[in-house]
Amino acid sequence: MMHANDGADAPYWNGLAEGRLLLPRCRCGDWLWPAANHCAACGGEEIAWVDRPMRATIFSWTRTWHRFGLTESLDLPFVSIVATIDDCGIRLLGRLDDPDQLDPVIGEAIAGRSGATRVEGRDIPTIIWSRG
């Protein structure tokens, strides 16, 4: 989960840190994820970072009861959600705002906001998902 901020996805992380969801789209219309410097569909290099609403549907989710890796700063349990962003199909990992809720439902509409997860003394921008 460590991210250098100079990779192809740097605008995503920098945007999230400012409360925006920026996603890369080629001139041909294809969304590129993971972010890349070339479009896999057309080979183009004209990639624009487009502001998207943080609205999505749940693709998959996991409730975590035990610590692993770099999650030491999170209260347990926590709920990770992979959600498909509306109208572009990109799937992004985030965390549910209130892990004590009833289980999320695949296909459920959710809305996100930007937050942070503390990892080894650094705040990593994170999408915090809310239901209904």
Closest distance to Zn ion from the beta carbon of 48 (Å): 11
Is the CB of 12 or the CB of 61 nearer to Zn ion? 12
Q: Does 97 bind Zn ion (CB under 5 A)?
A: no
CA-CA distances (angstroms) from residue 68 to 1, 23, 71, 116? 12, 29, 6, 18
Closest distance to Zn ion from the beta carbon of 6 (Å): 23
Q: Does 99 bind Zn ion (CB under 5 A)?
A: no
Out of 1, 42, 48, 106, the residue judged to bind Zn ion by CB under 5 A: 42
- Site stretch for Zn ion (CB under 5 A), options 3-11, 42-50, 77-85, 118-126: 42-50
Closest distance to Zn ion from the beta carbon of 93 (Å): 24
d(CA 19, CA 113): 7
**Please, are residues 82 and 95 in contact by the beta-carbon 8 Å criterion?**
no
CA-CA distances (angstroms) from residue 56 to 52, 112, 125? 10, 8, 18
* 3-class secondary-structure state, position 11: helix
Report the site for Zn ion in 2-41 (rule: CB under 5 A): 26, 28, 30, 39, 41
Location of structure tokens 């459920």: 108
d(CA 86, CA 120): 32
Q: Does 44 bind Zn ion (CB under 5 A)?
A: yes
Residues in contact with Zn ion by CB under 5 A are: 26, 28, 30, 39, 41-42, 44
